[in-house]
Chains A and B, each alone.
Chain A
Amino acid sequence: MKDFRYIDNIASLKLDRDACIGCGMCATVCPHRIFEIQDNKADILDFNACMECGACALNCPTDAISVTPGVGCASYIITVWLSKLTGKKVDSACC
């Protein structure tokens, strides 16, 4: 994926190293391989590769990771914006 990089310094990913127990689930599930376990603690190796899918945070047994997960899809975001304007429920006819 090194040919495909998106916008830097924008992901909402946060890691609380004190809460981390080094189980390695984040490193397992991350589709961009941004975590590494060193000395029983997770480390973020490549922050800017984060696509905020939320897999790491959801699978962290101690809630040491937080990220605002979502769908990185323009037409979905437009639907959400429109639904805020019209007050209609979001119809997830996206993918």
Chain B
Amino acid sequence: MEPYVDGFVKTPVGFVPRVRTKPLRSDILGTITTRIGVDRHDYKVIPGLYCVGAPTPESPVLVTANYKLTFDSVRMELDNLNAWILVADTRGINVWCAAGKALFSTEEMIFSVRSSRLEEIVSHREIILPQLGATGVAAHKVMKGCGFKVVYGPIRAMDLPEFIKNGNTADESMRMVTFSLKERVVLIPVEIFLLGKVLAITILMTFVLSGFGPDFFSLSAAWDRGLAAFWATLLGIITGSAIVPLALNQLPWRMFWPKGALTGLVAGILCALTVSGTSGFLESTALILWTSAISSYLAMNFTGSTPYTSPSGVEAEMRQGIPLQVGAALLALIAWITAPFMG
């Protein structure tokens, strides 16, 4: 039995697992490893009906996704409440992303209601969906498909108790997305850890490239210059994937690529100044361009983690940003490779 199940509730169609509303150590550990990207694509709950407290046929039905982080964030808010939790099969993806990929969908809602035989368990005909699920679900079609009325609940699980207390009504603040500092901070680790493989290859390549010079290949040059390139790469990642998300609303411009280019430029200059004792103009330029390009690209990628960037807008900024990022990276590469021959 899964550790988060603490009992069973008898219903006309069989026993329904009752889940805890307080985190266990295994839940906390799972959250941490998922946030740093480990097993992120396989952190799932078995879809189906669950419950909290001692639900009756009149209790509300809350629908959620089968990503365990999502499932956890819902059940942890339901302390002292009696409710049914209907977990849809979203292949372990959160509500909003699953809705965007047609996994948290009209068809999935109808299927979940039917396969859990909800109409035999509850006396009402209402299911409460997270508002962000609306991107994938047509409420009127769910009604037609299974006879259950979709009520869009609050965006954040933390507002569920208040929403239920108010007779299933959400106030404006519950319906508006936010992007607070805390909400941005939790996204940073996965942004960085997911770079893993690409980063390892990039760093290896920069060390190798750094070794080529007038003596064909020098191990000491590979090490010294490689280390400088390594720091430039690391700084670009930190500014693009951490500083930009943190200072998102303080940095100028609405597009993301210039935000990253700016922070990368500053970091690149600092990096070049720190290693300036060993490098000349070409190498300094290369480091600055390289850091700016990486930072700009990663900042642009952060659009995917925000709740306010439109695809039309992202595409528009990519058409501007990518040519500049590729250009800067190529120039950096050329300057870096030719520098030893200019000395």
List residues of A whose CB falls within 8 A of some B CB: 1, 3-8, 10-12, 25, 28-33, 49-55, 58-59, 61, 68-78, 92-95
Contacts and interface: CB of A to CB of B under 8 A. Distances in A.
B100 A53 contact: yes
Contact of A12 (B134, B135, B254, B312): B312
B10 interface: no
Nearest to A33: B176
B202 to A, nearest CB: 16
Interface in B171-193: 172, 175-179
B303 A31 contact: no
B314 A25 contact: no
A32 B308 contact: yes
A6 B178 CA distance: 14
Given A1-B177, A4-B248, A72-B314, A93 B134 contact: no
Contact of B140 (A59, A74, A76): A59
Contacts of B132: 31, 55
A95 B93 contact: yes
Given A29-B131, A59-B137, 12 more contacts: A1-B179, A4-B248, A7-B255, A31-B131, A31-B132, A31-B155, A51-B308, A72-B303, A74-B314, A76-B304, A77-B314, A95-B97
Contacts of A25: 139-140
A74 B308 contact: no
A10 B318 CA distance: 14
A32 B177 contact: yes
A74 B135 CA distance: 19
Contact of B152 (A10, A12, A28, A52): A28
Contacts of A72: 303-304, 306, 309-311, 313-314
B101 interface: yes
A55 B132 CA distance: 8
B318 A75 contact: no
A59 B306 CA distance: 23
Given A59-B140, A77-B318, A53 B135 contact: yes
Nearest to A28: B152
7 contacts: A8-B254, A31-B155, A53-B135, A55-B132, A69-B135, A74-B256, A95-B94
Contacts of B177: 1, 31-32
Interface in B230-286: 248-249, 254-256
B303 A55 contact: no
A95 B136 CA distance: 15
Contact of A7 (B93, B136, B175, B310): B310
A4 B93 contact: no
B138 interface: yes
A31 B318 contact: no
Output the residue of A1, A72, A92 with the most chain B CB within 10 A: A72
B250 to A, nearest CB: 9
B179 A74 contact: no
Output the residue of B255, B300, B315 with the most chain A CB within 10 A: B315
Contacts of B99: 55
By Cβ-Cβ distance, the 7 closest A-B pairs, closest first, are A73-B304, A70-B311, A29-B134, A55-B134, A72-B309, A7-B313, A3-B249
Contacts of B139: 25, 59
A73 B220 CA distance: 41
B304 A31 contact: no
B307 A51 contact: yes
B135 A54 contact: yes
Nearest to B151: A28
B301 interface: yes
A12 B316 CA distance: 13
A28 B175 CA distance: 8
Contacts of A74: 256, 300-301, 303-304, 314, 318
B310 A58 contact: no
